[in-house]
Chain A
Amino acid sequence: MNWATSEKPFKYAALSLTTFFILQVFLCVNLDKWVHPEPFESSQAGQLDPKIVSSLRAAALLSGYKVLVGHVFWIRVIQYYGDGSNGADHYAKLYDYCRLASDLNPQFLPVYTYGAAALAYQQNRMNEGVELLQKGILANPTVNNLKLMLAAMTYHNSEDYAKEIPFLEIQIAQGNAPTMLVNILANTYTKAGRIDDAIRLWRQILQTTDSDVQKYEASQKLKELYAIAKKNPSEKDKS
């Protein structure tokens, strides 16, 4: 059979074109169920520049590289929190930044663990930290880390430090926890009165960390703790 310029194949072509067009209409409708982009939860930009927020979202959604944009933006968030000059207003934009990062990349856990720890423990913004964790748990219902962290934070909020400690311990033992959580655990030991455990942990941090800031913090804390321990030797006997 000759499939070149003669007329017959064009009839077949026209026929199959229409058939496939119809098939495609059907598929287009069906695919809607498969491609169901979740609209961004936080529609308002909060304290962030709405222009930047919307252009970032547009870039993520239109390019087809949402995850990539999310990862890159997350670096921006970390830089924001790492920049001491932003401390003047106590990192006011941190919560909005974390929300936006989690919008872009809802399954990227460091956004929640790191963000919530920073907000709740370091900046004393417990409500925002809890909200961020809630969002993370809803988006990642199978991830235990986030639930442990929420439990720890809830006890911390009600100053029930003794109950908080196991949740932090389990989480750290599981790995995947932000390093700042170890510091937090050490501080919580102190608050719960477990000075020995606190000293042990800070020593451990001092030995293992590469960060000068953390080394300095650890040695400061150890000095304080040794002072307390000398005053209160009975604690030492207990353990």
Chain B
Amino acid sequence: MRRIFCVAQFTFRELIRSNMLYIWFLSVVVFSALAFLLSILSFGEVQKIFMDLGLVGMEFSGLLVLILSLAVTYNTEFDQKAIYLQLAKPITRGEYLLGRVFGFFSIISLVIIGMGLFIAGLVTLVGGGQVPVLFVYSTLFLLIEMFVLTTLGLTFQMIGTSMVGVVLYTMFTIFLGHGMGQVDWLLNQKLAPTVKTMLRIVHFLLPNLEAFNLKDRIYDPNLVLGWTQWQEVLLYAFAYSFVVFLIGWINLEKREFM
């Protein structure tokens, strides 16, 4: 356990010093400006627009931090072989990978929560409005999503043989994962059984990121978000990341360091 924490701490420090927080700053500026512009132009509901765009910005900056971190650490760990010296130490490869996941996740959480607080502060203090509880829930869902994507990205890092490959796999999966909602919808339509089976396989293999996409439904009056839904979503996230983590771990164990 201690060793996992050490790897996480080491990773966190490395990423923070690689100026990942500039991304946070950049996102805050860009999305605040965008939100400001849109709210001026769109006749009303300024705070709603601000929160909507804020959530988008939070996800965006989280993804950006994830992808850049994957690229940066792929370079140091695998291209420059910094991983050799670590794996020669009395730490198992599973511990190393888990430490990396937590290190990544902590900096991504920092960025997302920081931006969420900024937006909530702006809405309540400057706008004098109220932050709906669903805004907070959306942020939590975003964090769950980021955990799944972090395990996934790092697993790709364990499998991939080039930095570009790792980044592309991850971005592609994020894109397809958001399309899973449409696959869900398609599966409820009348389709040929073979097509349906294929879709089921795709649906099963790729992460269903729409399950975590509360931000697009934050004002939906038909939204039911009870204990069962929380359980399902959390369990899904946990099961998915666990499977993905195991695949990454096995790959790291079997990886030949040429």
Tell me, yes or no, whether A and B come into direct contact in the complex with CB atoms closer than 8 A: yes
Interface residues of A (CB under 8 A from B): 2-5, 9-10, 13, 16-17, 20-21, 23-25, 27-28, 30-32, 34-37, 39, 61-68, 71-72, 74-75, 78, 106-110, 114, 139-142, 176, 178-179
- Bound Cα distance A17, B215 (Å): 31
- Number of A-B contacts defined by CB within 8 Å: 136
A-B contact pairs, 22 of them (CB 8 A): A2-B92, A3-B92, A3-B95, A9-B94, A24-B204, A28-B208, A35-B210, A36-B185, A37-B185, A62-B182, A64-B210, A65-B56, A65-B216, A68-B53, A68-B56, A75-B41, A78-B43, A107-B221, A108-B219, A176-B44, A176-B45, A178-B43
Contact A107 B219 (CB under 8 A): yes
- Against A, the Cβ 8 Å flags (1 = close, 0 = not) of B13-54 are 000000000000000000000000010011111001100110
Most buried by B among A16, A66, A142: A66
- CB within 8 A of B232: which of A31, A114, A176? A31
- Bound Cα distance A66, B55 (Å): 12
Q: Is B110 an interface residue (CB 8 A)?
A: no
Q: How far is the CB of A205 from chain B (nearest CB, A)?
A: 16
Q: Is B179 an interface residue (CB 8 A)?
A: yes
Contact B221 A71 (CB under 8 A): no
Question: Which residues of chain A have C-beta atoms less than 8 A from B218's C-beta?
Answer: 67, 107
Scan residues 165-190 of chain B and give those whose CB is less than 8 A from a CB of chain A: 175, 177-182, 184-185, 187-188
Q: Is B250 an interface residue (CB 8 A)?
A: yes
Given contacts A17-B247, A62-B179, A66-B216, 14 further A-B contacts (CB under 8 A): A4-B253, A17-B246, A23-B239, A31-B184, A31-B236, A34-B232, A35-B208, A35-B211, A37-B182, A62-B182, A64-B210, A65-B56, A108-B48, A110-B45
Question: Which residues of chain B have C-beta atoms less than 8 A from A72's C-beta?
Answer: 38
- Bound Cα distance A193, B120 (Å): 48
Question: Which residues of chain A have C-beta atoms less than 8 A from B247's C-beta?
Answer: 17
Given contacts A20-B243, A63-B178, contact A141 B221 (CB under 8 A): yes
Would you call the interface of chain A mostly helix, strand, loop, or mixed?
helix
**Closest Cβ neighbor of A77 among chain B residues:** B42
Interface residues of B (CB under 8 A from A): 38, 41-45, 48-49, 52-53, 55-56, 59, 92-95, 175, 177-182, 184-185, 187-188, 203-204, 208-211, 213, 215-216, 218-221, 229, 232-233, 235-236, 239-240, 242-243, 246-247, 249-250, 253
**Closest Cβ neighbor of A141 among chain B residues:** B221
Q: How far is the CB of A103 from chain B (nearest CB, A)?
A: 13
Contact B243 A17 (CB under 8 A): yes
Contact A61 B179 (CB under 8 A): yes
- Bound Cα distance A75, B93 (Å): 51
Question: Which residues of chain A have C-beta atoms less than 8 A from B184's C-beta?
Answer: 31-32, 35-37
Contact B235 A23 (CB under 8 A): yes
Given contacts A63-B178, A68-B53, A142-B221, contact A13 B250 (CB under 8 A): yes
- Bound Cα distance A24, B181 (Å): 16
Q: How far is the CB of A134 from chain B (nearest CB, A)?
A: 15
- Bound Cα distance A16, B244 (Å): 12
**Closest Cβ neighbor of B240 among chain A residues:** A24
Contact B233 A25 (CB under 8 A): no
Contact B42 A24 (CB under 8 A): no
Q: How far is the CB of A27 from chain B (nearest CB, A)?
A: 4
